[in-house]
Amino acid sequence: MTEAGSGARHPTIFISAGEESGDLHGAALARALRERFPHARLIGLGGARMQAEGVKLLAGLNELAVMGFAEVIRHLPFFIRLRKEVFATLAAERVDLVIPIDYPGFNLRLARHAKASGIPVLYYIAPQVWAWHKSRVRDLARDADEVAVVLPFEEDFLRRGGVNARFVGHPLLDRPDPPQPRDVWARANGLHPDRPILALFPGSRAQEVRRHLELFQAAADLVVARRPDAQPVVGVPGGIDRALYAGARWALVESAGGLLAYATAALAKSGTTTLEAGLALTPLVVVYRMNAASYALARRVVKVPHIALANLIAEDRVAPEFVQDAATPEALADAVLPLLDADSDERKRMIAGFAKVRDRLGGPGASRRVAELAGELLAKGGAER
């Protein structure tokens, strides 16, 4: 029984996030869950943000944030041990609800085990089954009681496959406005407020930073050579090892401090950052490089017209994309330079496209809506268990 049921005991909820974006959204969800269930016990996998919101962690992002076929193989023994520990925890802690957040390689197995153990599953931020691994639609239909999706086209796609999916809006819309005026923020970070700021986002995982940081810096060197007033800065996500940036030639700035909202333009590794840029109406160039073996496999199985989330939602190539060998310093510099010019057609066109992306994502309140779904499942589980 739970708070949402007969009240015999307070609910224990397991939240599982394995990436920087998952930790961000998991923290917002944990906050919404604590508001709805003040005495709930929150445990799981995630990062510093989730921990700050009261989630007791079994493992952190520095261990979890790996991707690509070759990288996952190297970390397989760790994931096997972690899976055993998590499965044991579900039983030992009498978990009432499991909420996996994206991260399908681990979380789909977690969902299957939880469902088989009689624990309700609320999958938040569905795996991108519309891009690849469409067989996972069957897994979601079988193992998830509810799937809360954050992209508008996902609900119909998953429902056609038998998944109980609901569009809840995107959690990035819940993020507060930047806390400072641009000039105050710029001076606090050693930047001139009247000169253009080029933000470099090489990634939130160690292997992404190693592959993208020098590439982005080389592109920034070329930009500054042609536009000396440009100010490149490197966006650093929270919880990542600063030693990865030992070779950085440009200033390091915390990405969570509103960098995208203050930047004039950005170079960004494909991922959630592209959508954050779209919502901030910050023009950007999207880049992705990966292990050669993983890329060869991805080319065979990934079937989408764009790699950037903002472009997928817009159903148009709003932001230019450079993948693998096409991502050269010269190509990136050529693409980003017009975006630093306030009057360029490229910049105006991209901002107009991003405004449409923002409109398509609906209104704020995603975390609250997911917490409401959690309440429904807890009430049902309390009545049946």
Q: What is the pLDDT of residues 160-177, one digit of tens each?
A: 999 999 999 999 999 888
Please, which pLDDT band fits residue 66 given cuts at 50, 70 and 90? Answer: very low
Starting at the edge strand found earlier in the chain, the sheet holding 265-269 runs: 251-254, 231-236, 197-201, 265-269, 284-288, 321-323
pLDDT in tens, 178-193: 878 999 999 999 999 9
What is residue 296's predicted lDDT score, i.e. its pLDDT? 58
Same domain as 21, residue 156: yes
Same domain as 226, residue 132: no
User: Does residue 202 contact residue 240 with C-beta atoms inside 8 Å?
Assistant: no
Residue 259 lies in a domain: yes
Same domain as 305, residue 192: yes
Same domain as 323, residue 379: no
Same domain as 128, residue 217: no
The count of structural domains within the chain is 2
Residue 176 lies in a domain: no
Residue 177 lies in a domain: no
Same domain as 229, residue 132: no
Average pLDDT of the residues of the chain: 88
> Domain residues for 266?
182-360
Cα separation of 122 and 124, whole Å?
6
pLDDT top residue among 63 and 201: 201
Same domain as 374, residue 293: no
For position 200, which CATH number holds? 3.40.50.2000
Same domain as 338, residue 241: yes
Same domain as 261, residue 316: yes
Percentage of residues in the chain having pLDDT higher than 90:
68
Q: Above 70 in pLDDT, residue 4?
A: no
Same domain as 341, residue 193: yes
pLDDT in tens, 115-160: 999 999 999 999 888 766 778 999 999 999 999 999 988 999 999 9
Q: Where are the alpha helices (DSSP H) in the chain?
A: 20-36, 48-52, 61-64, 69-74, 76-92, 104-116, 136-143, 154-160, 182-188, 206-226, 259-262, 272-280, 292-301, 309-314, 329-336, 345-360, 366-384
- How many CB atoms sit inside 10 A of residue 163's CB? 25
Residue 175 lies in a domain: no
User: Does residue 313 contact residue 357 with C-beta atoms inside 8 Å?
Assistant: yes
Q: Above 50 in pLDDT, residue 313?
A: yes
What is residue 176's predicted lDDT score, i.e. its pLDDT? 81
Q: Model pTM?
A: 0.78
Mapped onto helix, strand or coil, the DSSP state of residue 106 is: helix
Crossing angle (nearest 10°) for helices 76-92 and 104-116: 30
| Mean pLDDT lowest among 10-19, 242-251, 295-304 | 295-304
